[in-house]
Every structure is written in C-alpha cells, then in structure tokens.
C-alpha cells in the first residue's frame, strides 16, 4: 500500500519538469538571469514613479487638510480644530479599508508577506492603488503611521502585476515582488542599500547571491528615478557625532535594553488595540477610523508632535536640546496614537513611529545621563540615533536593515559601532521574550507560519493529509479473539484500528494486547471478542496537522502508527499514518519548498 501524496509527488515546476522561468514561449527564449534582472529594473522604475506619485498626492492632501480645512475651522474652534482633522481623515479612509480593499487596513508589510506565503505572490492591482490613497489620507490628516507600509505594498503590487504579465513561476514572482519592495524603500527613504537589505532580510529572508543581484538592480533603478524627481538629500541633516569615551558603551547597553522594552510594548499594544477595535468596540466598521482619529486629535491638542510621520521633529530633537520629560512623555503618547491609528482601520506603516519613539528614548536617555553625571559624553543626538535603530531593529527583528537605514538616512557613519551594539542588544533581548515580530504577528494571528529561508522546517509545510494512507485495514469490534489473532499475526502490521458495525473508530489493537491476555487468562481468551480487550483510549491525529507535529508525537509516545480522523468528527476514520510515511515524504517536502519559495 502506498501513501497518497499528490501535492508533493506530482508538483511540476522548473526544477522538476524542466520548464523555465515563464509559461510564455517568447520569454523562455531569453536567458533567465537577463530576463529577471531586466524585469527587476523595470519594476524598480515603475515603483519609483509610483512612490513619487504617492509623495505628490500626500502634499496635495496635506494642503487640503491643514491649509484649507484646519485654517477654516481655526477662527471658530481655536486649538480644538486640530481634533477634527484626523477625525475627518478617518471618515474618508473608512470606505476604502472597509469596502473597496479591506487588505489595505493596517501597516501593509504583513499583507505582502502573506501574499508571498499563501497566494504564490498574487496581489490585486486595486489593493496597491487603494493602499496609496488610504495611506496618503492617513498620514496627511495627522494619523500616526509611517510611509514604508504603503510603499512596500505599492512596489509589491507592481512586481506582482508585471510577473503575471510575463507569466513568471511562483518563485520568480516572489523575487520580483521583493524587488518592488526594495525600490519603494530606496525611493521614499533615499536609502537604496537599506531598501535592498529590507527586501532580503524581511520580505525574502534569504541572503543567497541569486536574490541580491535582481533586488539591488531594482533598488538602484528606483533610486536614480527618485533622485531625479525628489533630489538626493538625506532624510535627516545632522552634524557628525562621535563617541567620547569607551565607557559610553555601558550606557549604550542600557539604551539597548530600554529599546527592547519599548519595542515589546509597541508590538503588544498595537495588536491589542487591533483586537479591541475588531472584536470589542460595537460600532459600525465604517466609523471606527473616525474614532481612532478623534483619539489622535485629542492627544495632538497638547502634543501635536505625535501626528503624521514626525521626521521634522525627529531632526529637531537630534540636533538641539529639549526637555527630557517632554521627550519621555512623547514615547507612550506616540505609541498610543499609532496603535489607535492602525488599530482602528487607518492605513500606514510602523517604521516611522518606531524611529520616532527610538529617537525620543535615546535623546532623553543621553540628556539625562549627561545632566545627572556631569561628565563629557557624546551629543544626546548620538544616543537618539542608536535608539532609533534599536527600537525598529528589535520590533522588526531586522538588525541589518535598521543599522543601514540609519546610516543612509543621516549619511553619518561615525556611529557604526554604537549603532551595531545597541541594535544587537535590543534585537536579542526582544527575541528572547517574543518570537513574533511586528510584521509576523499579524500572520500568526491568522494561523500562518512565516519562516525565513534559512530557518524553515520543511516538515511544517506538509500536512498529515498529504502523506497518510487513505485505504485503511480495520478490524471489527465483534471479531472473535481467534479471528483477530490470525489477522494481526499474518499481516505485516503490528496493530489495527478497530471499528464498530457503523464504521466508527472505537479502539485500537496491537500484538502486545494479545500477549497480555494470553498471560493473564489463556482459556478465557478464546471466549472473548475484540471489543472485550481492545484499547479504547485512542491517540488520533487529523489531516490538517503538520507532519512535524506528528513526528514529535511518534518520538514522545513511541507508537508505530496513528489513526487519522476527521477534525469535525473524531469517530470518522479517514486514514492511517506511520513514521515511515513521514520520513519518506522528506524529499518531496524539500522539493516542494525549493519550488514554492525559490527566490
């Protein structure tokens, strides 16, 4: 009897069947490396144009919200006019995230990662366009969020669309989607290296050379177009900072620990607020963003710094002195504002809020240490830069992206070692307390496991239903001892599921059960039926469980086989799975993984 395994054993792709990167005949005539790199460059250019359009739309919306609406209300409402701006933004965003494209709600990157993991890289063009519109409304009306979420989804959507036009295989489609994400980050943050690392570290999760080339081509192409339209100035204009004494690394260690705490609080509150708005607040979904915007507006009456992206204020904090208590107060206020913004149904990213909170934390910490100890140390802005990288690097579990991003956004490489040290401390500590990142936690809530290429257990990617035997030999509970004995000892199995007359699973029997009965009472054994001495406590598995779960079960309980039952009806026997079934499935699982996630 052979296990039935259609999804793995019959899967066809370029490595299995010999086909190439595309289903189009004319595309197959182009050398693979050249084709992928040309498509990557094309996607990078289109993403850059989309990013420029996004920034232009933001400028126009900002003028509408603050030059037209806010200034019109100011004479009548005074300072309170600021409350109505994000509330109005919520009313405008709600139809998009509620009706037209629900996947645009939230911070974007998890949606792209889920498309790669579960949809073979398919993204709707409408989703990318609606994400652009919803995020522009969010950020320009004062919603507390970042720009990387919409830009990554826009770039990914362009990459997915181009891949579908060229009919690229799923593996190549995922690589092209990562190219779009890299180009988007490169343009918006003027950081081509960080964009490339972001795509490789977070989106793809594979540092293989074959991934680097096309992603870098796309990031470079996007950057060139971005420089033409937006200029090449860094995001933050700051003086060169230097470490004064090696003793400061003790303070950077403390700062890394504090940054991990902020990152953990950010992830926890963001998803808790998302849960509250989704399940606890009983108002129409179309009104929830307005409630979130109202909350942000109330906070902004006293601390308008929490509104929007906040880069201007970050630059100001990094270069001049500020009250320590204000900087410390802005950390929880920004955290709350961002959680209400994204949790209520607005659209935006989490990178900018992470950088904002890190800057406040680091600068406040550096200022407090200097004032309390009265010793010469690096400028508080240097601690702010370390805090920025540490909070984002920890929350996203992306240390390389965080480090390179700070260097490219400031063009200051004097703090390489402190930034590296702070990021690693924060990342390791965050990982100790939370295995889910700010990007993957949303997928885990939906039951989707996302692992990077170097951390994949292929047994977790196949199910019991793919490897089990569907034709099962069973014994009836009314069989006599003698008949059951003959069946068991004349077969190559050492155990059988036992069913009743209705075919329902009622127990199991194995060779050792016969042996125990013979030792106890050999004469009485001849008079018994199978239901009198079978084992009624049956350990079962379901077709939906992963092969890895069942393999661990084999090691723990030492049984040779497990009945497979319907998840909704534990008495309905649908198959049987053995240890050898799972072990023999490894080559198929490995091939399946290489095909599906080749980048």
pLDDT in tens, the chain (599 residues): 333 333 343 333 333 333 445 445 555 566 767 888 899 999 999 999 999 999 999 999 999 998 888 888 878 887 788 899 999 999 999 999 888 888 788 777 887 887 777 666 677 777 778 888 999 999 999 999 998 888 888 898 899 888 888 877 777 888 899 999 999 999 989 999 999 999 888 887 665 556 688 999 999 999 999 999 998 888 898 888 889 888 899 999 999 999 999 999 999 999 999 999 988 998 999 999 999 999 999 999 999 999 999 999 999 999 988 899 999 999 999 999 999 999 999 999 999 999 999 999 999 999 999 989 888 889 999 999 999 999 999 999 999 999 999 999 998 888 989 999 999 999 999 999 998 899 888 877 776 666 554 455 666 767 888 888 888 888 888 888 778 878 877 777 777 899 998 889 999 888 777 767 666 665 666 677 888 888 888 889 998 888 888 888 877 777 778 899 998 888 899 999 888 888 777 666 655 554 444 44
Per 3-state DSSP, what percentage of the chain is helix, strand, and coil (rounded to 5)?
70, 5, 25
Please report which residue ranges of 166-208 form alpha helices under DSSP H: 170-188, 192-198
Nearest to 167, CA basis, from 321, 354, 19, 386? 19
What is the CATH number assigned to the segment(s) 248-447?
A: 1.10.3080.10
Please report which residue ranges of 276-302 form alpha helices under DSSP H: 288-302
Q: Is the pTM of this model over 0.85?
A: no
Nearest to 178, CA basis, from 147, 213, 145? 213
The CATH superfamily holding the domain 21-233 is Clc chloride channel (1.10.3080.10)
Measured CA to CA, the distance from residue 340 to residue 343 in angstroms comes to: 5
- The burial class, CB within 10 Å (0-12 / 13-18 / 19+), for 325 is exposed
Q: What token pair was written down for 550? A: 């069942």
Summary mean pLDDT of the chain:
84
**β-pair partners for 569:** 566
Measured CA to CA, the distance from residue 470 to residue 468 in angstroms comes to: 6
Token pair 């003027």 is found at 190
Report the SS3 class of residue 529.
Answer: strand
Phi, psi of 92 (to 5 degrees): -80, -35
| Matching fold, domains 248-447 and 459-483+493-509+528-595 | no
What does the chain come to in residues? 599
Q: What is Dmax (Cα atoms) for the chain?
A: 102
Residue boundaries of the structural domains of the chain: 21-233, 248-447, 459-483+493-509+528-595
- Measuring CA to CA, how many Å separate 379 from each of 234, 375, 384, 406? 20, 12, 9, 16
Nearest to 426, CA basis, from 144, 454, 434? 434
Nearest to 365, CA basis, from 397, 304, 322, 405? 322
Measured CA to CA, the distance from residue 135 to residue 50 in angstroms comes to: 13
Measured CA to CA, the distance from residue 263 to residue 252 in angstroms comes to: 16
Parallel, antiparallel or unpaired: strands 561-566 and 505-510: unpaired
Assess contact for 143 and 346: CB atoms under 8 A. Answer: yes
Please report which residue ranges of 305-440 form alpha helices under DSSP H: 311-319, 324-344, 351-373, 380-396, 399-410, 416-433
Q: For residue 234, what is the DSSP state?
A: -
Q: What token pair was written down for 521? A: 């009472």
Report the SS3 class of residue 63.
Answer: helix
Assess contact for 172 and 36: CB atoms under 8 A. Answer: yes
- Return the ∠ at Cα 83 (arms to 77 and 86), rounded to 5°: 135
- Measuring CA to CA, how many Å separate 291 from each of 347, 350, 466, 563? 14, 20, 46, 51
- Top CATH class of 459-483+493-509+528-595 equals alpha beta
């Amino acid at each position: 009897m052979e296990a039935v395994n259609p999804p793995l054993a019959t899967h066809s792709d370029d490595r299995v069947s010999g086909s190439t990167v595309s289903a189009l005949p004319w595309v197959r005539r182009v050398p693979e490396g050249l084709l992928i790199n040309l498509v990557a460059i094309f996607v990078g250019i289109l993403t850059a144009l989309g990013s420029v359009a996004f920034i232009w739309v933001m400028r126009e919306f900002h003028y509408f919200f603050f030059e037209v609406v806010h200034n019109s209300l100011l004479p009548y409402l005074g300072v309170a006019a600021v409350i109505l701006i994000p509330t109005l933004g919520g009313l405008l965003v709600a139809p998009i995230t509620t009706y037209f494209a629900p996947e645009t709600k939230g911070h974007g990157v998890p949606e792209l990662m889920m498309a790669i993991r579960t949809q073979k890289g398919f993204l709707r063009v409408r989703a990318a366009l609606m994400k652009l519109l919803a995020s522009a409304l969010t950020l320009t009306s004062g919603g507390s969020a970042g720009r990387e979420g919409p830009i990554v989804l826009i770039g990914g959507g362009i990459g997915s669309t181009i891949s579908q036009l060229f009919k690229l295989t799923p593996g190549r489609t995922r690589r092209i989607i990562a190219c779009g994400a890299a180009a988007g980050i490169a343009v918006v943050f003027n950081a081509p290296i960080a964009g490339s690392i972001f795509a490789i570290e977070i989106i793809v999760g594979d540092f293989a050379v074959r991934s680097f080339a096309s992603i870098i081509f796309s990031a470079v192409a996007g950057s060139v177009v971005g420089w033409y339209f937006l200029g090449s100035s860094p995001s933050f204009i700051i003086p060169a900072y230097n470490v004064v004494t090696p003793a400061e690394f003790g303070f950077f260690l403390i700062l890394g620990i504090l940054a991990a705490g902020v990152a953990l609080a950010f992830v926890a509150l963001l998803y808790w607020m998302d849960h509250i708005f989704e399940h606890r607040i009983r108002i129409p979904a179309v009104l929830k963003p307005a409630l979130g915007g109202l909350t942000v507006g109330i906070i902004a009456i006293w601390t308008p710094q929490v509104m929007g992206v906040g880069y201007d204020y970050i630059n100001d904090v990094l270069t001049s002195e500020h009250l320590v208590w204000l900087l410390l107060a802005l950390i929880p206020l920004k955290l709350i504002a961002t959680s209400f913004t994204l949790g209520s149904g607005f659209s935006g990213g989490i990178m900018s809020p992470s950088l904002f909170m890190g800057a406040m934390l680091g600068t406040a910490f550096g200022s407090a240490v200097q004032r309390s100890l009265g010793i010469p140390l690096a400028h508080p802005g240097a601690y702010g830069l370390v805090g920025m990288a540490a909070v984002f690097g920890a929350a996203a579990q992306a240390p390389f992206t965080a480090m390179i991003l700070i260097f490219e956004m400031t063009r200051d490489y004097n703090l390489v070692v402190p930034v590296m040290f702070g990021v690693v401390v924060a990342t390791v500590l965050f990982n100790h307390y939370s295995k889910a990142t700010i990007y993957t936690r949303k997928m885990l809530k939906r039951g989707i496991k996302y692992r990077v290429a170097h951390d994949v257990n292929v047994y977790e990617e196949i199910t019991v239903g793919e490897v089990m035997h569907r034709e099962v030999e069973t014994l009836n509970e009314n069989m006599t001892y003698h008949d059951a004995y003959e069946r068991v000892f004349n077969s190559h199995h050492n155990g059988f599921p036992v069913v009743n007359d209705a075919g329902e699973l009622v127990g199991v029997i194995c060779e050792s059960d016969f042996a125990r009965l013979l030792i106890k009472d050999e004469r009485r054994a001849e008079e018994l039926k199978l239901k009198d001495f079978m084992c009624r406590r049956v350990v079962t598995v379901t077709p939906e469980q992963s092969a890895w779960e069942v393999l661990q079960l084999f090691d723990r309980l030492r049984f040779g086989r497990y009945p497979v039952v319907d998840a909704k009806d534990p008495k309905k026997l649908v198959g049987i799975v053995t240890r050898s079934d799972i072990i023999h499935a490894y080559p198929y699982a490995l091939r399946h993984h290489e095909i599906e996630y080749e980048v």
